[in-house]
Amino acid sequence: MKIATLITLSSVSLFGLSINFSKSFDAEIKPDTLQAGINITVKKASEKEVVQSLSMFSTFIDKDKDVEKKWGNYSVHPQYKYENNHRYKSDYVGNMQYQISSKDSDKLNNFLVALYSQKNDNRVDISTSSVSWVMSESQKSGKIDALRLEAIIWADSYANSLSDSLSKKCTVKSLSFIPVNHYYPQPMMRMESKNMDAVSAPTPTQDLQKMSVTPTIQLECK
């Protein structure tokens, strides 16, 4: 546990000694969720064919219960060619993106293998990117609460210690947390996969990640 303290203001008044400072409480945590981005691109002769193909993939992805899914955004637009100063539609291109995640890396990898097996057309391209371990919302929330409690207990203990050192009665007058809690994810490993062999790429290392809270503490000694 690394702790850093910055005293920002100390003053003596008719009411006693007021001390204001900020202090960081840090923790290193092993992230519990593996996530990846999925991009599906379809190129067909007609808009209807593109939509049908994207719908097939969307249905397959939505039916899977082993991974969490976000986004599911898609777009379809025509492609144009120019010939003899004349523009005409040559194809339609559709694109769909998902973010998937699971606390079980095997389930996520199995899902990717199954997804790639749905590709039966060379006019369809599937790629994965930003494969990385991240903290789930429940994991982050729980650790932030634990760090805040640690800060409160530390502030009360420090006030008691200061009371003994100064021969005064010191108490915690206020303790406020900076709204943004610092969270430092590991650098993302980027992986572009366009065939079944690429899906078998190694799972990223589940390295420790750092989280901290930095409350502003005000003590008063009389």
Could you say which residues of the chain have pLDDT below 70? 1-15, 179-201
Q: Which pTM does this prediction carry?
A: 0.72
Distance CA(23)–CA(15), nearest Å, equals 25
pLDDT of 201 reads: 58
Whether the CB-CB separation of 92 and 43 falls below 8 Å is answered with yes
Query: What is 34-133's CATH number?
Result: 3.30.70.360
Contact 218, 172 (CB under 8 A): yes
Per-residue model confidence (pLDDT) at position 204: 86
Length of the chain: 222
CA atoms within 13 Å, Cβ hemisphere of 119: 20
Do 135 and 203 contact (CB within 8 A), yes or no? no
The residue written with tokens 């976000």 in the block is: 70
- Is residue 217 a contact partner of residue 22, using CB atoms and an 8 Å limit? yes
CA dist 79 and 41 (Å) reads 13
pLDDT of residue 46: 93
Q: Both tokens of residue 132?
A: 């990385």
Residues of the chain with CATH 3.30.70.360: 34-133
pLDDT score at 86? 84
pLDDT at 7: 46
* Whole-number pLDDT of residue 179: 61
Name the token pair of 165. 């050192």
**CA 43 centroid distance within chain:** 31
